[in-house]
Chain A
């Protein structure tokens, strides 16, 4: 067995054993498979619908579809670059089996290439999973036949290995040159900033212009702009050129671009192995040295004391511990940058919404969009909550025994986690809804209704995530990021979405009535409270039930951990 295959054998053996001998039940796996299939089919359906729409634009369809392909591949490439940086740091420098492997007579090249494959697989499987329905949709709409799938099969491994090799080189050099152990923080910042910048670039490049050809001077100008890649030096553009040859029957130099792609895909791993050979041992040795101490921040202690002074002493102690742990773990709080980017892009969408070009009356449309925004904000809150609130109990990790053996009730523990998560989620939800309503110029009754509704849904979403997080705790995680992607995380997300759907369904009828009132002459400026109040009361009752049941279930599960 070659050294590379041998070094990879624990991975696939672990997968095999987890699959055939793991504890998770077949019904759970079936549910996950159904969820994955839904995502897969959903992606296929959406992309196919968009491409069909493009196809209806006479003469321009293929050019628009090509631009979309470029954007999709560029997005994949940026995601791959980012995830490979993080994955390479983990596989080469932080993995728990490194001592075992380095104490054995393993060749440096064998080790490097085995870890490169591991890095590529870890960081690329999701991109691979979502890219397949996209290529299938392109194939279904534009044809391309078996040649398309032949090219996809040839291109994808090359397209995935290039960012993986780049990620490995950058990680090796960063670990070698930067101070020991600060590397994880630094890398996270670099990756995060790169991701946010790319996200902004993508958003501000205004892909919606694809459906607004009037923005260009004349048709030929538009067509030529649409048929050329925006960044000709990127592997994503080379891949798009190759696929365009099969899809759109365009005269492209498929052979040339394939040679370009494969030469980079062969050269970069080789170059990366040379770099690794030169710097790996120094970097690895450095990466094990202890982290430097942190400065004490008296003002933070004072602030935390003041902010939590309303709570009982034990709840307060847990909250302060959680906040400090969160702030000191860069991998946790640096994700707030992503959240910031999300808010800006979210609000930007409302700013550019072409409501005035709609044939519907603007007043009514604004109310309806604002209502739809409640559901959307609820969805965003669910996604954020599953990332931050769901792991609340699991993050106690192997130190959970301290809380278990302390004289505090599990009820107090879960409630403290609940309130700790409600505060930031509420701030986020209210901010999103308030600012988007301001941009939409909604009437004051809609603003009031929205703010009260989002307050209630936040309480429900936080309770679902904290409760279900306690229902499916994972105290043996290796990386905190794996907690929300578990089965429990999926259950939490589904329940949150169902809860939002129920809330929206309860409020839909009165809002529809009030929105329609604006169409009638002598429109209602201040709607009767009697119309909204019952539905708000119903939502409040639903929220109270959701909060009580979720936390009760969570507490019961934690009680059973003692058995």
Chain B
């Protein structure tokens, strides 16, 4: 379970995340939508303990991401929007390194690496240096790395960028299967289609504030749009909210 409690992150006078309150129960895929610069990546970086919140708290399965950082990170997998991979390592060496960071070792590590490489169709490339991988292959390798330690929570920032339709399909199926097995998935995306297809609930953030949250029908109600797809609802909500109060304080 993920809990964001009155989470605020300011850059000087700009509130990138403003008093965000959110609970994502276990086994749910939560879609986190918002226009560019709305505060999605900042929220995720604070959730992963990479950025320090100005105020508020993040609990990952009850572990505070600041005061119990190691416990919180040990049960969480992270797929960043612009992932870094050591270019001079082979895919397998990279996975072994990340696995050991998460204290997965020995036969369990080898088993997990083999399973994930197979699942994400990278087995044939495992001994090649990462520098020779295409963008989509690097993305899939990062997904493998995030899932090695069988996390109870998965935080994903823009997962499908640069992926071919087959890769995107594999990933969507994988997320759904993980959620069914009890993994909580926090999925930030620009792609409304993906959110509509796989997310159980959706939150829309604008100027650091959560302007709508709930299942598709709830969101539609909040947007006063009885018909139309999520794209119409998203545009309606973000248009209504745009130009209201600025997030500057």
Across-interface contacts of A99 in B (CB, < 8 A) = 45, 50, 80, 84
Residue among A7, A17, A21, A100 with most chain B CB within 10 A: A100
Residue of B nearest to A14 (CB): B88
Q: Which of B71-79, B171-179, B180-188 contacts the other chain?
A: B71-79
- In the complex, which residues 419-454 of chain A have their Cβ closer than 8 Å to any Cβ of chain B? none
How far, in angstroms, from A434 to B73 measured CA to CA in the complex? 64
- Which residues in window 89-109 of A have CB below 8 A to B? 96-97, 99-107
CB pair B103–A105 under 8 Å, yes or no, is yes
A18 within 8 A of partner (CB): yes
**Number of A residues with CB within 8 Å of any CB on chain B:** 29
- Say yes or no: B84 contacts A6, CB within 8 Å: no
- Determine the main DSSP class of A at the interface with B: helix
Cβ of B129 under 8 Å from chain A: yes
B98 at the interface (CB under 8 A from A): yes
Name the A residues within 8 Å of B103 (CB-CB).
105
- Contact in complex: A285, B51 (CB < 8 Å): yes
Assess whether B52 is in contact with A105, with CB atoms less than 8 Å apart: no
Task: Judge if A281 is at the interface, Cβ distance under 8 Å.
Answer: yes
Which A1-48 residues have a C-beta within 8 angstroms of B? 1, 6-7, 9-10, 13-15, 17-18, 21-22
User: B83 — nearest CB in chain A belongs to which residue?
Assistant: A100
Tally of B interface residues using CB under 8 Å: 32
Contacts of A18 in B (CB 8 A): 88
- CB of A282 within 8 A of chain B? yes
Could you tell me if A290 and B11 are in contact, using CB atoms closer than 8 angstroms?
Answer: yes
Is there a chain B Cβ closer than 8 Å to A288's Cβ?
yes
Could you mark each residue 85-97 of chain B with 1 if its beta carbon is under 8 Å from any beta carbon of chain A, else 0? Answer: 0111110011001
CB distance from B44 to the nearest CB of A (A): 10
Given that A10-B89, A105-B103 are contacting pairs, would A288 and B51 also be in contact in the complex, using a CB cutoff of 8 Å?
yes
Flag if A285 contacts B88 (CB, 8 Å). no
Q: Is the CB of A103 within 8 A of B88?
A: no
CB distance from B68 to the nearest CB of A (A): 10
**B73 contacts A13, C-beta separation under 8 Å:** no
Q: Report yes or no: A10 in contact with B101, Cβ–Cβ below 8 A.
A: no
Task: Give the residues from 74 to 117 in chain A that come closer than 8 angstroms, CB to CB, to chain B.
Answer: 96-97, 99-107
Task: Verify B102–A6 contact, CB threshold 8 A.
Answer: no
For residue A289, CB closer than 8 A to chain B, the reply is: yes
Q: Mark A283-323, 1 if CB is under 8 A from B, else 0.
A: 00100111000000000000000000000000000000000
Provided the pairs A97-B86, A282-B52 are in contact, do residues A13 and B93 lie with their beta carbons within 8 angstroms? yes
Contact B69–A105 (Cβ < 8 Å): yes
Q: Which of A6, A21, A96, A285 contacts B100 (CB 8 A)?
A: A6
Expressed in whole angstroms, the Cα–Cα distance for A97 and B12 within the complex equals 26
- Is there a chain A Cβ closer than 8 Å to B48's Cβ? yes
Given contacts A102-B49, A103-B49, A107-B70, A13 and B98 within 8 Å (CB-CB): no
Q: How far is the CA of A431 from the CA of B101 in the complex (A)?
A: 56
B50 touches A103 (CB 8 A): yes
Residue of B nearest to A281 (CB): B52
Indicate which residue in B51, B70, B87 contacts A105 across the interface (CB closer than 8 Å): B70
Whole-angstrom CA separation of A182 from B81 in the bound complex: 25
Within the complex, which residue of A10, A22, A282 is in contact with B97, where a contact is CB–CB below 8 Å?
A10
What is the bound-complex CA distance between A192 and B210, given in angstroms? 46
Report the bound CA distance from A285 to B53 in whole Å. Answer: 9
Complex: chain B residue closest to A95, CB-CB: B84
> Smallest CB–CB gap between A356 and chain B, Å?
58
Chain B residues whose CB sits within 8 angstroms of the CB of A6 once the complex forms: 97, 100-101
Q: Which of A507-563 contact B (CB under 8 A)?
A: none
| With contact pairs A105-B73, A285-B51, A285-B52 given, residues A13 and B100 touching in the complex (Cβ less than 8 Å) | no
Query: Are A106 and B51 neighbours in the complex by a CB distance under 8 Å?
Result: no
- Shortest Cβ gap from B82 to chain A (Å): 9
A sample of 16 more A-B contacts (CB under 8 A), given A6-B101, A14-B89, is: A7-B101, A10-B89, A13-B86, A13-B89, A17-B89, A17-B93, A18-B88, A21-B129, A96-B84, A97-B84, A100-B83, A100-B98, A104-B101, A105-B101, A285-B51, A289-B11
In the complex, the 9 A-B pairs of residues with the closest C-beta atoms, listed nearest first: A14-B88, A285-B52, A104-B101, A105-B70, A105-B74, A105-B73, A103-B78, A96-B84, A10-B86
**What residues of chain B have their CB less than 8 Å away from a CB belonging to chain A?**
11-12, 45, 48-52, 69-71, 73-74, 76, 78, 80, 83-84, 86-90, 93-94, 97-98, 100-103, 129
A-B contact pairs, 13 of them (CB 8 A): A6-B101, A7-B101, A10-B89, A10-B93, A14-B87, A99-B84, A103-B73, A105-B70, A105-B73, A105-B101, A105-B103, A106-B70, A289-B11
